Structure 1
């Protein structure tokens, strides 16, 4: 019955013409109205939100603290919802409960949700595999039978032998919210140091497992965050980063800034309090430390960063029983340097130093002056060199990005000459494993319509082609990827820049407007590559829809120039690119405004938030996940200070002025005419997100709801859904992933003009 209540009348959809659009029962649970002046509005935000006889959602009354006002760079800034920055206050918790009291009934208590959830569960239920990794006497790979909350790490003696469970995170908690967040094996493969994340937090607890016995040593290392693990070649221990001075909670629900990371050495079998402090930089509390033990075992390479781009490089000689003393090689934050391998004192780095599309250079630590650096692989004219990995003694496997499609090659380590080209379809390499001392490699490939293929290649058998080791196939009745098309188009942005975009849809004659999901990111030098996106595929299959991925500026699709074109004072370019994508799709008859939804997460959540403020007339619905919404205070929480490389620092007057122009929280408007009505908006966040604190979503939702509360032109819903025991996204259990995707698809089913539903 409820399914019929939410049917849209496709040809005459207009949220401003109620009689022509929705059955009256639908309006009782969806829309908002301005109450009569004589009605006393509730002040207790914990009260139920649907009132009778008024047939509209009543948003919770949220306290506005008018006293919070400050002058910043001659700007008068009011922050009425700053109290929502305290996640532990009773008032914040009442706010969260009140918001969920609106969003959960709207999303979950319906036949739509049940049907969509059932289909998504079937869609998720197929075997998934990770790349095998060879360590010592065993091969390891991740495997998920389909609906397991966490993938299981399996062990094999050979690739043909039966697999046994090496580590199953599903046994650690009943709800699957403890995830294996990282792992690194000792050089001989005897031990695996691994990190566990709880409830989606970035905080890790490190344990050590014996490969042969499949049991753990007794010690647990805590207060570990943003750290890799680097084993010494004697297999006795490893280096790792630790925030030993972090006060208060360290479970992912806190907002305190992360400062004073220190580098330690841990010896296997000893307690953490015996770990040796290697280096710290108290005069630079925001520096973060990553290490690599060189392939020869002689050097410890220290990478120092304070944002998400550009790092300095120090190194130390590793001599037994001698103090570790670091020497600078690169002492300025001006480029990226990633260690690849070394031959003696000659170190190979992947870098964008003087190469916006990246190159491979050689630095001799015995003669490290920059004028002595040499180039092994020069910067390509068009293609971006994404990474390089040394395997089979003297081979470099390199991955290029060519017009947002991956190219995989093998080159000679000494000459840089091409040895082999690995054929790939349109898609991306999502994983690779291999070591310098082994001749075989494994790599994983995925695309919009291909969940995953694992390839195996052995350089000791150069005549043979790469073999398909494992392939994941969907268990969805009637699904055939040959029925779908993937096209890449190029469209013009507002400044006439050419922007690429992938469009996925069913093959058919002609083009007719269909429901469309437009997904974007555009930041931090991250490339939005063709990859498997279950929520998007569900949208296309269920609504006979269109999926669009524009590669907007700010990403890394065309190297540092593309990245710089959408960062700092150029950040607006990325928003313009995204809005131009929406205009292209509507002008070329792929969709219409009332059928068009936008979605983005993290920096993509910022993208969605900024775009619905700037061009609400373009979109029918918006999904903003774990977004950065307060651009004037983002740098004050957890790891937010590291994002100043992309956004600019609010402490700088010029950047503050720029941030103020597009900050989602500070550009919310009251709809004063039909074109200013916000699209139906679903804001999603999680209580243990210590990457982008949920306070961003809290404050943005509160401001939006207050702005639209009394507008006669705002009939589309503004909802906030807050998940518990969840974080920024990594390690999220399958059950939570399915339920979140169900919430998104259900929301779009109810708010977009959908005329075809296949459940």
Structure 2
């Protein structure tokens, strides 16, 4: 009998055994996962990797496919025994069933936006003529796949609003196929651009073509796991085959560099922003499109700082930058005199972290974070006059896009207990009005949001938002779900989530910790949670958990932690370091093997935040917290449900597979260790609504059972 047959037989025996023992409470019987002799030498340190084979692509490996099916059998059987899960799924669907809109994008009198009628698997793209026009459907991805696994990843209308470029992603993949359609007729053009990843195209002002970046076609068998190298910039003429595209820019001397294209609103300049990681430090190269056969000119020839284009006035370009401004500012650069000594500060650095800026209607709108809450200011074109932009309350605002001749802009606003609304701001009147608002079947007045600041291990004050039902008793008996991320300069701000409302209705408390590594307080806050300082992030999260216990919000047995991607790493590292502190853990699509992450797909870009095992000093820091390598045999770990997708091509599922296998091997005691593996899904973007509801119901059901919750 071969290994595959033995493996599946073992699964069936394990499943029957676990069901028969359920009433007595012993540990679950997991599938026996094969171990191999694999030892790597890192700078003189030998490191075992017995589950290396689980890195193999499930599409190509029968062994991995069998393992996935076996683990899902165990997980599904366990979840099926939680009757409250069905009720949670029903309530989630009720809460989710409301109209959802994106902020409109306006081009030459046409208003483009997406809408989901409530429970559609994917949002639909619509267009209307004028502010009060009748919307009509341009693209409905729900018609492209019965199971909802084809998503509209991005879309960009031409300046005249007559053509639309849009990207399609299948099964959550980061690979997008771009196509073009005629907005007036809805007709699909012949154009199809493949092998596009981590880039959006830029239209020429005359809508005759687009500039875009793409990779070469991957070698057979490497599409979903191979490293992404040698991205190039092309010009595509509308109505032609991709094979006819003109190569515009490449850097074979730096195969790790990536490129993003932008065309200034007046069409005079093509800007190529070059990046080599996730640290937001860019080179900037431009082409003068007014000149025939224009050659690239390096405007910024180093990766020392961030430079994000805000807009331009002729040959004067405006950039948001952290050059000599850790909290960021806006400067103007003249292409005639581009030396830094000639730069002009337009919007100076303030005490708050500048998150973004827009230039339209001959003025700037700048968005800041003040203690992780959005603050918006308006500035004149020379930056000499400014005013506060009134927001509906404390929360998160986004949008504020527009063209130079715009008379209006749209923005969204939401908070933890405030469903999203879209506002229209009239630039001439200086007033906002509600354009669209979400109508969710719950009462926001029932809930309270507070912000606290707690000390981390080294004394650093860390902000945390806490949301709960009014009248909460701080007696240490409340189930608390603590969420975190702490990386890549990403800020966690107050935002609305149906899954969180469902959790609150279950009697839970929801907390979000703004950890170092994020962008809440600018570059210094981010750098304090990277590379050799990454342990600060875990210390911050652990300190937040301990604070919630000390302040009687909860106790260890009723405290759960959750995070996804880099947040999955956060959960994995913290449960490995303090397994006694948590009652349940939900690591999602996490980076769990910190010694090998840079060898797959986009992993090499993350070296800016994590460092690399190829560097001896960084290896020591990484090895000390890598979740997969720091699980200890014979330890009682919290109840854990790992979630991932079998076709995630960003954080490859091998991370979660290996971590689950190691955790099942090491865990001592009755707490379950499950892995829920979604099929035909990726890292999370574009996931169908039905799959989202199923996953959240499973997670909430798992917490309900393992935190000892009772029906509300």
* Cross-structure match for 2:386: 418
SS of the residue corresponding to residue 59 of structure 1 reads coil
1:376 to 325, 341, 346: 346
Residue 54 of structure 1 and its aligned partner are, at CA, apart by 5.0
Is 1:227 paired with 2:199?
A: yes
1:683 aligns with 642
Give, in whole Å, the separation in 2 of the partners of 1:160 and 1:485.
Answer: 36
Does the alignment pair 1:265 with 2:235?
Answer: yes
- Residue 718 of structure 1 corresponds to which residue in structure 2? 673
1:688 deviation in Å? 2.0
Q: Is the 8 A contact 1:232 1:297 kept in 2?
A: yes
Residues 46, 237 of structure 1: alpha-carbon distance in 2 compared, 3 angstrom cutoff? farther
CA 1:260–1:114 in 2, change beyond 3 Å: closer, same or farther? same
Unaligned runs of 5+ in 2: 1-5
Residue pair 1:516, 1:591 contacting (<8 A) in 2 also: yes
TM-score, with normalisation over the residues of structure 1? Answer: 0.90
Distance in 2 between the 1:250 and 1:432 partners? 40
Rounded Cα–Cα distance in structure 2 between residues aligned with 1:538 and 1:525:
29
Moved more, 272-281 or 369-378: 369-378
Aligned match of 2:44: 74
Residue equivalent to 1:386: 355
Name the structure 1 match of 2:654.
695
Change (3 A) 1:273 1:416: farther
How far did residue 384 of structure 1 move?
Answer: 0.6
Equivalent residue for 1:103, pick from 55, 60, 75: 75
Cα separation, 1, equivalents of 2:711 and 2:367: 40
- SS of the equivalent of 1:117 reads helix
What RMSD over aligned residues (CA atoms) do the two structures have, in Å? 1.6
Q: Which residue of 2 aligns with 1:439?
A: 407
What is the rounded CA distance, in whole Å, between the counterparts of 2:7 and 2:580 in structure 1? 32
Match of 1:746 among 681, 701, 706: 701
Q: CA deviation at 1:155?
A: 1.3
- The equivalent residue for 1:487 is 450
Q: What is the CA–CA distance in structure 2 between the aligned matches of 1:549 and 1:684, rounded to whole Å?
A: 20
Q: Measure the CA separation in 1 of the matches of 2:383 and 2:456.
A: 41
1:2-401 alignment runs, 5 A limit: 46-52=11-17, 55=22, 56=26, 57-66=28-37, 68-87=38-57, 88-108=60-80, 110-249=82-221, 254-309=224-279, 310-319=281-290, 322-380=292-350, 382-392=351-361, 394-401=362-369
Aligned counterpart, 1:452: 420
Residue pair 2:499, 2:696 contacting (<8 A) in 1 also = yes
Q: 1:183: Cα distance to partner?
A: 0.9
Per-residue deviation, 1:512: 2.6
Distance 1:204 1:42 in 2: 36
Distance (whole Å) between structure 2 residues aligned to residue 42 and residue 690 of structure 1: 26
CA distance in 2, matches of 1:533, 1:113: 18
**TM superposition shift of 1:112:** 2.1
The Cα shift of 1:43 comes to 8.3
- CA gap of 1:172–1:109, structure 2 versus 1, over 3 A, is farther
Give unmatched runs, 5+ long, in structure 1: 1-40
Deviation of the 1:420 alpha carbon: 5.0
The CA deviation at 1:140 is 1.5
Deviations 1:655-684 (A, max 9, x none): 01110000001101123xxxx411000100
Is 2:602 aligned against 1:658?
A: no
Q: Which residue of 1 aligns with 2:688?
A: 733
Per-residue deviation at 1:113?
2.2
Distance 1:695 1:509 in 2: 41
Q: Distance in 1 between matches of 2:235 and 2:12?
A: 53
Secondary structure, in 3 states, of the residue corresponding to 1:119?
helix
Contact 1:517–1:536 under 8 Å retained in 2: no
1:451 partner SS: strand
Q: 1:419 to 1:487 in 2, by over 3 A?
A: closer
1:109 deviates by 5.2
* Aligned twin of 1:533: 497
- 1:21 alignment partner in structure 2: none
| Rounded Cα–Cα distance in structure 2 between residues aligned with 1:358 and 1:619 | 38
Q: Partner of 2:326: helix, strand, or coil?
A: coil
Report the more deviating stretch, 326-335 or 513-522.
326-335
Secondary structure, counterpart of 2:393 in structure 1: coil
Query: 1:33 is matched with which residue?
Result: none
C-alpha separation in 2, matches of 1:95 and 1:724: 13
CA shift for structure 1 position 538: 1.1
Any conservation in 2 of the 1:278–1:324 contact (CA below 8 Å)?
no
